[in-house]
Amino acid sequence: MTRVKKGVNALKSRKNILRKVKGYRFGRSTKERQATEAIFHAGAYSFAHRKDKKGDARRLWNVKISYAAKPLGISYSKLMGGLKKKNILLDRKILSILAAESPKTFEKIVEMAK
């Protein structure tokens, strides 16, 4: 049986691993074993927090809507309830954009919801 030397393959895999951890601190950016572990952890965290990011965005939209609705004399919950009763199908993202960029339009929507 012929002997297989894995120098080329080992270098290639090591180079790929270390390329992924560029910018990490301490041994995690230079040592192969620590780098591999860092990559696994990073993958787990990114998977877990992709869902969290969507929830964070929704909470921010709610705060923006609430902040814009208060001076118009209506609370966030009353506004959302009114929109649902009047069957106005605008989602929170659109409402927050309207509140920030075109307050006149948002004011008309609030009047319709009251």
Q: Is 82 helix (H, G, I), strand (E, B) or coil?
A: helix
Backbone angles phi, psi at 94, to 5 degrees: -65, -45
What's the pLDDT at 114?
A: 87
> Residues 58-86: what's their mean pLDDT?
95
Annotated domain spans of the chain = 9-113
Q: What is the pLDDT of residues 44-69, one digit of tens each?
A: 999 999 999 999 999 999 999 999 99
Give, in words, the CATH class of 9-113.
Answer: mainly alpha
Q: What is the pLDDT of residues 14-42, one digit of tens each?
A: 999 999 999 999 999 999 999 999 999 99
CA–CA separation, 34 vs 28, rounded Å? 5
The DSSP-derived string for 22-80 is TT--GGGGT-HHHHHHHHHHHHHHHHHHHHHHHHHHHHHHHHHHHHHHGGGT--HHHHH
* Cα dist from 64 to 4, 10, 43, 101, whole Å: 63, 53, 32, 11
CA–CA separation, 96 vs 61, rounded Å? 5
pLDDT over 90 at 1, yes or no: no
What's the pLDDT at 84?
A: 95
